Amino acid sequence: MNLLHPDARVIDAATGESLTPALIDEAAAALAGESLVFMPMETTVAAVARYLAALRLGKPVVLLDPDADHSRLIERYTTTDLHPDLALMLTTSGSTGDPKLVRLSASAVRANAEQVAESLGITSDDVAITTLPLFYSYGLSVLHSHLLRGATVVLERTGIMQKDFWTAVNEHRVTSMAFVPYQYEMLRRLRFDPAKYPSVRTLTQAGGRLRAELVTDFAGRMASAGGRLFVMYGQTEAAPRMACLPPDRIADKLGSAGLAMPGGAFVIEDDEVVYRGPNVMMGYAENAADLARGDDLGGVLHTGDLGRIDDEGFLFITGRIKRMGKVFGVRINLDDVEKHFPVAAVAGDDKLHVFAENITADEARALRTKIAEWLGSHFTGVDVRIIEVLPLLPNGKTDYRALEASL
């Protein structure tokens, strides 16, 4: 698979280094002996070159967080028996306990890059900047969709809380930025004013539900500067984006995850959102033998989300079938949290709230650190509350609704 349009450019904002065909050729030569490539994915030109080389050679790549230890995962999945359609594998969750992989074919990756490029109207004049890690499906799809249309991708390792980031936005005349909900909270804190960054035309939002107030707020900020906010919905299992809310419908469809992207369709089965499209994964892998498996799903993804579709086809997500939460855009199984820690866990907006009975403030802080470490997440995403006694339902189970109401 070649996702690289001949006009596409990748530039490192800090070093000025650019991606060249020669760099990809060199990276391809270095991959000669490998059949399956485990790749800690940094935001550098070298890492992008190596990734594109593996895709071009048709060698399946597992993208990994460069800051974590993956020796167990690598041991678990090392094999040479690989299905010919397999191109890319990503992890689904930040928790280190469950290194399940999503298996994506080259055609699914490419289809989603097309769908995203089409929905956002990406052209070779666009300039995206990295705002998310490239091993994270949403961040990766920013790279894919822009390279496909011959646009420019600026690699920036700082973040929106740092001056270098905003300097790079203006210096490289960035047109498009992708953020998850907590970054919109940050941008609001920064009093983000698009008029100060006149090249920016497009903001996208995915990676969990953004509260309606912020959707309205940022749609308004962008509109007043002649730009647009795109609310999107996806899962790593769909390579990853499935829906897009057209900016001119944000006001009258507030709270919607949008319309299915071109080539995709949603149906609701027993209240569950089911997506059908060319970008659905082949299936999960839980061990090395699974990497030889073909397409298990036939293009149909049961999302695990509860939802409804209105008469115009707009999707509204209403909840999760399993007890799931999201912290900084990464999925978390609440029951798993409770198995590992003596707490009751509920999901907030991009935050995990846990209730622990009768502990001290020091113990609560230590618990917060431990849970965040276990999740591979940041401590500000975990909120520990001390409670005298957990509320129970008549059947003796934890009354999660009462806990949610107390937040």
With contact defined as beta carbons under 8 Å apart, do 356 and 343 qualify? yes
Selected binder of another protein within 18, 287, 369, 406 (CB under 8 A): 369
CB of 128 to another protein, least distance (A): 19
* 192 versus 314: smaller Cβ distance to another protein: 192
CB of 35 to another protein, least distance (A): 37
CB of 185 to another protein, least distance (A): 7
Stretches 62-70, 95-103, 281-289, 364-372: which one binds another protein (CB under 8 A)? 364-372
CB of 202 to another protein, least distance (A): 21
Alpha helices in 313-399 (DSSP H): 334-340, 361-375
Residue 310 φ/ψ, nearest 5 degrees: -85, 180
* 197 versus 314: smaller Cβ distance to another protein: 197
Selected binder of another protein within 13, 334, 368, 371 (CB under 8 A): 368
* 182 versus 314: smaller Cβ distance to another protein: 182
Separation of alpha carbons 299 and 201, rounded Å: 33
The string of DSSP letters for 218-244 reads: HHHHHHHTT-EEEEEEE-GGGSSEEEE
Q: Which of positions 294-323 make contact with another protein (CB under 8 A)?
A: none
Binding flag, residue 328, another protein (CB under 8 A) = yes
**Residue 172-191 contact track with another protein, rule CB under 8 A, x = bound:** ----------x--xx--xxx
* 24 versus 327: smaller Cβ distance to another protein: 327
* 99 versus 325: smaller Cβ distance to another protein: 325
Q: How far is CA 326 from CA 8, 126, 208, 367, in A?
A: 33, 30, 7, 19
CB of 322 to another protein, least distance (A): 26
Q: How far is CA 48 from CA 51, 143, 204, 240, in A?
A: 5, 9, 22, 19
* 186 versus 306: smaller Cβ distance to another protein: 186
Q: Which of helix, strand or coil describes residue 71? A: helix
What end-to-end distance do the CA atoms of the chain give, in Å? 48
**Residue 126-165 contact track with another protein, rule CB under 8 A, x = bound:** ---------------------------------xxxxx--
* 283 versus 329: smaller Cβ distance to another protein: 329
Tell me which residue of 329, 331, 374 sits closest to 185, measured CA to CA.
Answer: 329
With contact defined as beta carbons under 8 Å apart, do 62 and 38 qualify? yes
Binding flag, residue 407, another protein (CB under 8 A) = no
Stretches 35-43, 279-287, 339-347, 360-368: which one binds another protein (CB under 8 A)? 360-368
* 12 versus 350: smaller Cβ distance to another protein: 350
CB of 367 to another protein, least distance (A): 11
Please name the amino acid found at residue 322.
K
CB of 188 to another protein, least distance (A): 10
With contact defined as beta carbons under 8 Å apart, do 123 and 308 qualify? no
CB atoms < 10 A from the CB of 42, how many?
Answer: 18
**Across the beta sheet with 228-234, what order do the strands follow?**
9-12, 152-155, 127-129, 176-179, 202-205, 228-234, 241-245, 259-260
The string of DSSP letters for 273-319 reads: EEEESTT--SEEESSGGGGG---SSTTEEEEEEEEEE-TT--EEEEE
- Parallel/antiparallel/unpaired status of strands 315-320 and 152-155: unpaired
Selected binder of another protein within 75, 270, 362, 388 (CB under 8 A): 362
Residue 160: DSSP 8-state: T
Report CA Rg, the chain. 21
Q: Which of positions 375-394 make contact with another protein (CB under 8 A)?
A: 378-381
The alpha carbon dihedral of 166, 167, 169, 173 has a sign of: positive
Binding flag, residue 365, another protein (CB under 8 A) = yes
CB of 163 to another protein, least distance (A): 5
Q: Which of positions 21-60 make contact with another protein (CB under 8 A)?
A: none
Binding residues for another protein, total number by CB under 8 A:
23
* 362 versus 388: smaller Cβ distance to another protein: 362
Binding footprint of another protein on the chain (CB under 8 A): 159-163, 166, 182, 185-186, 189-193, 328, 362, 365, 368-369, 378-381
